[in-house]
Each structure stands twice: as C-alpha cells, then as structure tokens.
Amino acid sequence: MGQKNKLQKFEEFASFPNSYENFNMKKPALLDASGNEIDLKGKWNAVHFKNEAPIILELACGRGEYTVDMARRLPENHFIGVDIKGARIWKGARIALHENLRNAAFLRTRIETIDSFFAPGEVSEIWITFPDPFEKKGKANRRLTSQNFLSRYRRILKANGVVHLKTDAESLYRYTLEVIHADPRCIIEYAERDIYAGPLENPLLEIKTYYELMHLEEGRKIGYIRFRISG
C-alpha cells in the first residue's frame, strides 16, 4: 500500500461519523469527525448510538470484520472496533457506513488507553481476534491477555463481564490459560484449541477474518477461550 493511499484512508476515517480517534497517550482525548474533542466516556449509548444496548468491543480489530459481522447478526447490541492502524480499521468503518449499520462504531487508539474512553461497567463483552502474540522474550506484557491488560478490562467491564479470545497462536492460547488459572477473579467458561475439529460452540465463531482465512489455508489450528472477569 502506497503512502499516499494510506494518508487518504487516514483522512477518510477521521471524517467518518461512526469513527473516533486518539493519538496522544498522555492526553486521552477523542476527536470526532469534525476534528473536535468529544467526551464519550460513560456516554457511548446516549451520545453516539442514541439508545441503550449492551456494548461489545472488538480489540485489535484490524479490518473490522468481526465488528461488522457481529453488528449484522446482533442488531440488538452495540459494537465498537478498536485498533491503532487507521488504514486497516478504515475498511470496517466504511463498510458499516455503506450498510447503514448504526450499531457499529470504530475507535482508533492504542489499547493501552482503553480505560480512558469507557466508564466502569460500560462494556458488556470484549472480543480479541487474532492479536499479535508477541512471542519474543520480554514481550509478554504486551499480549492482550496479560494481567497488564486484564486490569484495564476489569475497569470497564460490567460485573462478571465476558472476554473472548480467538487465536491461531499456540503460545498465546496456552499463555492465556496460564494467566486465567493464576487469577482467582477469572473463570474459564470454555476453551478449545481446535474449534473446527467439531461443532462450533458459539455461532459467532463462524465469522472469519482476513487473517484467519490465511491461517486456515496454512493448516493452522484456531483456538478459542471464553472467560469471565470479576472485580
């Protein structure tokens, strides 16, 4: 992708009415489509979606396939895709606008700042779909299921909120199980290393991202863990 094409997508994403951005971790302020600061913490339903419904996040959403498809399948819920890479997240935001999916929104920011943009108990569920497993030594704290991130999720999830992880990485799958087992405030509801070896436990697992399709072509197994986080 050329630099000009990337910059054009960044500009378009910033202008979409279903999209918000933050670039400065030291100043966690969101910008709306007009480039103005907007405070949505605790107000996503009232200010953006204009109605009350459970809010579900897709973290490291990439092109936003899960956000868009879940919004199609579950119109009674609100979905927000979160990623820092604007040229990717642009695609999901554009599709949601084209299909008039009013229950889908997108947030371009670093996930390290996620608790700056949602109030305690504002989020019902979190999906983490094919995140970077950060397999190199010394990178464990950057994994999206490390205690470093679970502490952030705990601040925004409702009581006993649900977290879903879908990954092709054996290392991340096993690491996540270890983290959950070591935390008495986490309860595993379901864990399967190879979800396509039998019937799918959750219909939403049918959704396949761009990266998952590549992983399947390479013969990789897809793992899934669902767990609850208490305060």
- The CATH number for 190's domain is 3.40.50.150
| Predicted pLDDT of residue 2 | 53
Rounded percentage of the chain residues whose pLDDT exceeds 70? 98
Structural domain contains residue 35: no
| Predicted pLDDT of residue 221 | 96
Which residues form the domain of 146?
3-22+40-229
- What average pLDDT does the chain have? 94
Active site residue 83: no
Q: How many whole angstroms separate alpha carbon 89 and alpha carbon 53?
A: 23
Structural domain contains residue 33: no
Structural domain contains residue 34: no
Structural domain contains residue 113: yes
pLDDT at residue 1 is higher than 50: no
pLDDT tens digits for range 36-78: 999 999 999 999 999 999 999 999 999 999 999 999 999 999 9
| CA distance to 177, 193, 224, 228, per residue, from 170 (Å) | 11, 8, 11, 21
pLDDT tens digits for range 140-186: 999 999 999 999 999 999 999 999 999 999 999 999 999 999 999 99
Q: How many whole angstroms separate alpha carbon 60 and alpha carbon 62?
A: 6
Structural domain contains residue 27: no
Q: How far apart are the first and last CA of the chain?
A: 43
The number of domains in the chain is 1
| Predicted pLDDT of residue 229 | 95
Structural domain contains residue 216: yes
Catalytic residue, chosen from 32, 69, 83, 132, is 132
